[in-house]
Amino acid sequence: MSLAEQPVLVFDSGIGGLTVLREARVLIPERRFVYVADDAAFPYGDWPEQALRDHLLALMGRLLRAHDPALCVIACNTAFTVAGAALRAAYPQMPFVGTVPAIKPAAERTRSGLVSVLATPGTVQRDYTRGLIQSFAARCQVRLVGSVRLAGMAEAYMRGLPVPDLDIQAEIAACFVQHQGARTDIVVLGCTHYPFLANVFRRLAPWPVDWLDPAEAIARHARSLLPVAGQALHPHTPDSALFTRGTPDFLTRRLMNSFGLAVDDTPRPPVEVVA
């Protein structure tokens, strides 16, 4: 494969990275995309840090060898905040574009000074996330809200399965803070699954807030690292999706097809998952 024909690999534990893929495709129209969902290990949200880091290092090594991408987007806050530095150290030739909670833009934009970060339990506990708050939002009051269940709810919702409003409401309620006449005006979507639920969040919110989705900024960063080509580099090969658990079920396949992704069913050795 020539350098120019190498695909962009977009990686997440599940379907959340599709929120980043859809922006990246707009800005990088000439490349082929390979989407990888590590559904064998989903959800990453409550994995112990070291086990998740080891798992990601091993899995990424296999994916990079198999797909030889030009660039790899880690479209998962939970993965990147724990293993971004280790991945860059282990695979120094590979440009990794990461995903971290959009705390800096939230701090720049808030008028009330009350910002919430809605993410997985793993992401809200990370030193990385605390570091972002100290560096960029020291003057704000930041509420960290870790949800064990929301990523799974987004997975179900996107497959057309029922997800009760009350369950979603219970997960987002803690984001809404009132303090001395001020109230939360920005909620950072710190998990790539959540933008799929943004309309439900808007409907269930006790008052309107900005729901900050970093997908476009991630796509712009990826774009800036690739040379611009005047023509499609792989015009006849469709974008594809692969699942570490193996062949996905009907609903998942239908969802992938609705995103224009051909499901890659190539038999491969199972991924060892040791949480």
User: Which residues here bind ligand DGL, judged by CB under 6 A?
Assistant: 12-14, 16, 42-45, 76-78, 120, 123, 151, 191-193
Nearest distance, CB of residue 174 and ligand DGL, angstroms? 18
Nearest distance, CB of residue 218 and ligand DGL, angstroms? 11
Question: Toward ligand DGL, which CB reaches closer, 6 or 120?
Answer: 120
Structural tokens at position 150: 């929301």
Question: Toward ligand DGL, which CB reaches closer, 113 or 121?
Answer: 121
Catalytic annotation on 175? no
Strands 114-119 and 141-146, by their bridges, are parallel
Phi first, then psi, for residue 74 (nearest 5°) are -90, 95
Q: CA-based Rg of the chain, rounded to a whole angstrom?
A: 18
- Rounded to whole angstroms, how far apart are CA atoms 65 and 81? 23
Closest-CA residue to 136 (of 175, 93, 188)? 188
Residues in the chain: 275
Question: Toward ligand DGL, which CB reaches closer, 7 or 14?
Answer: 14
Catalytic annotation on 76? yes
Question: Toward ligand DGL, which CB reaches closer, 192 or 240?
Answer: 192
From 72, 76, 140, 175, active-site residue: 76
Nearest distance, CB of residue 161 and ligand DGL, angstroms? 17
For residues 242-258, b (16+ Cβ closer than 10 Å) or e, as one string? bbbbeebeeebbebbee
Nearest distance, CB of residue 60 and ligand DGL, angstroms? 15
Q: 18: burial class by Cβ within 10 Å (0-12, 13-18, 19+)?
A: buried
From 72, 140, 175, 191, active-site residue: 191
- Rounded to whole angstroms, how far apart are CA atoms 42 and 63? 17
Please identify every residue annotated as catalytic: 76, 191
